[in-house]
Structure 1
Amino acid sequence: MPFYEGGHKRIQLVAQHNQNELKIHAALNKRQSQFFVMFGKKNQKELGIEKQDSFKIQLIEDSSKYGVEMPEELEAVLLSDYDAFQIFESLTMGKKRSIIYMILRFKTSQIKIDKALLLTENLKRGIRDLRELLKPF
């Protein structure tokens, strides 16, 4: 698999079923000689897939900086706070993605901004435990 052999374990996956299309970021995993991608129930439901359905997937090299699209609200908060940005950048790629997913789960832009502000303050306070990052101080 060219992605994996080239050191690219993060991919973009485009799945199609009937008239539905879903684009996600994912990890390309290898076990023995088999490659696989986790495609959970939430994604299956969003695509409208039932147990015995077949669907098409396309794997694309993920060229995003973090292996997932950065929400503009979090990016703006990090760019306005150099100390928080430096701390964020010092984290592992997996922890950065987890933080990004934490912010992405919120629906409105204002809530994303509020949570990003809280998160950056907690990072500056030395909190690195993901379960604690969104707790008010």
Structure 2
Amino acid sequence: MKFKAPILKFEAELWSYYVAIPKNIGDQFIEGDNRRVKCFINGADPIHSALMPKGEVYSIYVKKDFLKKHGLSEGEEVDVLLEKDTSEYGIQVPESFLVLLDQDEEGANYFKSLTMGKQRTLIHIVGKVKNVDSQLAKGLAIMHHLKEANGEIDFKRLNVLIKEYNNRK
């Protein structure tokens, strides 16, 4: 589904910028509780997101870094292409993390027992760095933490483990 929409700014909310998705378009992508889509803005790499209700429209959050990288600004009209996100986790998973999930059955079982939101959070932690060695260190720390905590996440403890794993290089 292609259309044009402006980059808008939230007022006093956690997220800064968004693209408004008309309700009649967004409704076509919602299946039960699944609101996951891939949003391509001006042909750039996709933003994996959920359609978030905002008044009479849905919103797709757009990070400030994305706007800067692509030379976009508030109020600018952009080309939007929406596709249903049919991926397993609703987010792009780094290859390094997929390998860890394949190799560590116990860790993978704990990971798969988490809510989809927690899974995406952990995938995001791994994927936000582009260096494969750093991704592996974060992934190993996550798997270690999941096994150590029997599938429960303590983000303070996880951050300590990530720092420890990063310092092992």
**Same fold by TM-score, threshold 0.5 exceeded?**
yes
Report the equivalent of 2:132.
Answer: 109
For residues 32 and 66 of structure 1, do their structure 2 counterparts lie closer, same or farther at Cα, with a shift above 3 Å needed?
same
Q: Which residue is 1:76 aligned to? A: 99
**Offset at 1:52?**
3.3
Q: How many percent of aligned residue pairs carry the same amino acid?
A: 26
Partner of 2:35: 9
**SS of 1:132 mapped into structure 2:** helix
Q: What code does the residue aligned with 1:2 have? A: Q
**Structure 1 equivalent of residue 65 of structure 2:** 42
Shift of 1:32: 4.3
Deviations 1:57-112 (A, max 9, x none): 11100011001011111111121111100000000000000000000112211121
What is the CA–CA distance in structure 2 between the aligned matches of 1:118 and 1:22, rounded to whole Å? 28
Please state how far the C-alpha of 1:41 moved relative to its aligned partner: 1.3
TM-score (norm 1): 0.87
Rate the CA distance shift 1:60–1:74 in 2: closer, same or farther, 3 A.
same
CA contact (8 A) 1:99 1:130 kept: no
* Match among 120, 133, 158 for residue 97 of structure 1: 120
Q: Which runs of 5+ in 1 are unaligned?
A: none
Moved more, 106-115 or 80-89: 106-115
**Runs of 4+ residues over 4 Å off in structure 1:** none
Aligned letter for 2:142? L
Q: Which runs of 5+ in 2 are unaligned?
A: 1-26, 165-169
Q: Distance in 2 between matches of 1:22 and 1:37?
A: 14
- Aligned CA distance change for structure 1 residues 115 and 46 (closer, same or farther; 3 Å): same
User: What is aligned with 1:135?
Assistant: 160
Task: Decide whether the 8 Å contact of 1:22 with 1:47 is kept in 2.
Answer: no
Show the counterpart of 2:15: none
Question: How many residue pairs align between the two structures?
Answer: 133
TM-score (norm 2): 0.72
